[in-house]
Structure 1
């Protein structure tokens, strides 16, 4: 009989569970500790905190989320132990009390042990106590995750250190995604965790189930603006430790594809400096430039023209000329992107019909730029631009590195590197 089929010692509607749930909801730590330390019959008792088993009352109205689960005949039943509750809440004294009464540190009727719970909450003292009392540092949860996989916040660094000191494996792949702890740290932007794992021998280019390296995972993760600096430090660390800047995943996407898809110009520049291929194509035929252009209109605050500019200065081919109207339509609200890309062509014929793809309010908002843009429908580019194009063609993929070495004023160097001016000539 599995733990999920076993009758709990304290079922959902028992008086103790009712009071315990009330205390948990109210964040009444004192009552929670008192109940699990003094009123629970034995230290390894199974407590049922939730159960949406519709078969208990087939006539009951079911929420939509439960109806979805019926197709696989699954339901949520949350079983736990006093030790798991105490560890999840960070009640060190309660954990110590239960362990002193020989509570099993690895009991996991709900599929996750007390050590998993302590790591999820970032409760270092609880994790250390559990490990000192013989908790398995590599115990797998029902989802195949070791405690180290659940060190997902900055507060869990102490837990990760304690796990490694007690023999946890830094190489273990876990869960459906087959991520290593370094993948988890990279996905969460935890640079100190990554430094710790690398110091313990983690493989910097380990692959998960999707063929991603930790660097690829870091570049593809969604970030809040306040997390960008920490993620940049993490990626710089991985690259210094030998991560391959051009490693492809199962879809042939490189870290650069992902950084461009997330509108991260500073990360794209970092990868390009470490040799990432600006012209690489994924399985769908998309280049990093295509990914950058796709997200330009969605994240104008991220200065997408900087990503486009960096790619072009590192040798990325420009968009096929016949596809430029589509770019114009997509990026109309980001005229600096249009300007940067347009200046990468020696000569591109502008059609008056292109006006139709630009919303009137956008054209009015950026009137000076679009007036200069459509003025080129009747005249060739200026000699200065043609000279720029000739020099860029000569320097090729080394534009970014060689232009700053030319004995030219800074303003001319910026011109050669496609720095936007706000109008076209």
Structure 2
């Protein structure tokens, strides 16, 4: 008999489950403790917390999709045990009590065991108690995830340490994505978790089901701005442990492509300094520069012009001149990006028709810059700019390292490295 066919000891419509849900929703710890430690008939009782099987109720209003055959026939049914509930809530005393009464630490009628729940909730004390009572540190959930895969927050570091101390495998691939624990840490910018796994022998260039290494996963993660510094430390750590800076995933995207897609200049610079190829093309023919230009207008607070500078100063080809109007249209609201890119050409013919792709409100907001741009429609670039281009062409992809060595004032060095000034000359 499968789990979904099993009759629960406490069905979802029972008085016990109603009281249990009320205690959980009300965060009534005392009542919850009484229910799961004293009121259940046996410690491994199966409790049904949810069941939306509308097929069991003839009077149920069917979802409209059913009538056209588009609705899945699966339904949500949530089964659990007192031990899983206690571990998920971080109630150490309840976990100790239930284990003392002989609760099975690996029981998982709902697909996840108590150890999974403890790790998901970052409850280190509960995880240690379960492991001391011989919970399997590599127990797989119904989704194929081990407890280490559920150590997903900075607060779960203690859980990860306890798992490894009790023999958890740091190489285990999990779920349909086949992520290792190192991939999970990388996706969430957990530098201390990554350090722990690497020190325990995690393979730094192991690939998941999408062909990503941990470095690639970290660079592609959508993180909050306050998490960027931690992610930068994590990527530095991975590179120091031998991660290849230019590996490609199944779409031929490199870590640099992904860092540029999120307009993260510090990360792009780190990768470029470790040998990432600024000229690389993915399967769609997009370069790292194309990736940052595609997202520049969506992330102006990330100062995308800094990423564009890094790429151009490390030898990235610039945009084909005929495609410049498309860049102007997509990046008009971020004129510093337009300025940096425009200054990477020795001469680029400005057309009055370009005004048509710039929204009027954007033009007015950045009037000084756009007036300087269109003033060049009938005027060649100044001699200073032409000298800049000649020096940059001579230095090529080493601009970033050779320009600072020139015996020039810092302001001129910045000029050579395409530092924006707000107007064009």
Which residue of 2 is the match for residue 222 of structure 1?
A: 222
Q: Shift of the alpha carbon at 1:58?
A: 3.2
Aligned twin of 1:80 = 80
**Residue 269 of structure 2 aligns with which residue?**
269
Which residue in 1 is equivalent to 2:331?
331
Q: Which residue of 2 aligns with 1:17?
A: 17
Equivalent pair of 2:272/2:314 in contact (CA under 8 Å): yes
Instruction: Report matched runs for 1:87-166 at 5 Å.
Output: 87-166=87-166
2:324 equivalent to 1:319:
no
Q: How many residues align?
A: 425
What is aligned with 1:357? 357
CA RMSD across the alignment: 1.4
Question: Cα deviation per residue 1:307-338 (whole Å; 9 max; x = unaligned)?
Answer: 00100000000000000000011111111100
Q: Secondary structure at the match of 2:5?
A: coil
Return the offset for 1:239: 1.0
Match status 1:394 vs 2:399: no
| Distance change in 2, residues 1:185/1:10 (3 Å) | same
**Deviation, structure 1 residue 301:** 1.1
The residue aligned with 1:43 is 43
The aligned runs of 1:60-79 (5 Å cut-off) are: 60-62=60-62, 71-79=71-79
Relative distance call for 1:259 and 1:68 in structure 2 (3 A) is farther
Compute the TM-score of the two structures, normalised by the length of structure 2: 0.98
Identify unmatched segments of 5+ residues in structure 1. Answer: none
2:421 counterpart of 1:418? no
Q: How far is 1:370 from its partner? A: 0.9
Q: For 1:356-375, what aligned pairs fall within 5 Å after superposition?
A: 356-375=356-375
After TM superposition, give the deviation of residue 62 of structure 1 in Å: 4.5
Contact 1:335–1:369, Cα closer than 8 Å, also in 2: yes
Q: Decide whether the 8 Å contact of 1:69 with 1:75 is kept in 2.
A: no
How far did 1:189 drift?
0.8
Relative to structure 1, the CA distance from residue 10 to residue 124 in structure 2 (aligned partners, 3 Å threshold; closer, same or farther) is same
Cα offset, 1:362, TM superposition: 1.2
Is this contact kept in 2: 1:257–1:288, CA < 8 A?
A: yes
Judging changes above 3 Å, is the alpha-carbon distance between structure 1 residues 67 and 158 closer, same or farther for their aligned structure 2 residues? farther
String of CA shifts for 1:134-153, please: whole Å, max 9, x gaps.
Answer: 10000000000000000001
**Aligned runs of 1:155-304 on 2, under 5 Å?**
155-304=155-304
How far 1:59 moved relative to its partner? 2.2
Partner Cα separation in structure 2 for residue 43 and residue 66 of structure 1: 39
CA distance in 2, matches of 1:409, 1:70: 68
Q: Aligned partners of 1:282 and 1:224: how far apart in 2? A: 26
Shift in Å at residue 71 of structure 1?
Answer: 3.2
Unmatched tracts of structure 2, length 5 or more:
none
CA–CA separation in structure 2 for the residues paired with 1:30 and 1:133:
25
**Does the 8 Å contact 1:205/1:244 carry over to 2?**
yes
Classify 1:50/1:64 alpha carbon distance in 2 versus 1 (closer, same or farther; 3 Å): farther
Please give the secondary structure, in 2, of the residue aligned with 1:297. Answer: helix
Conserved? CA contact 1:340–1:418, under 8 Å: yes
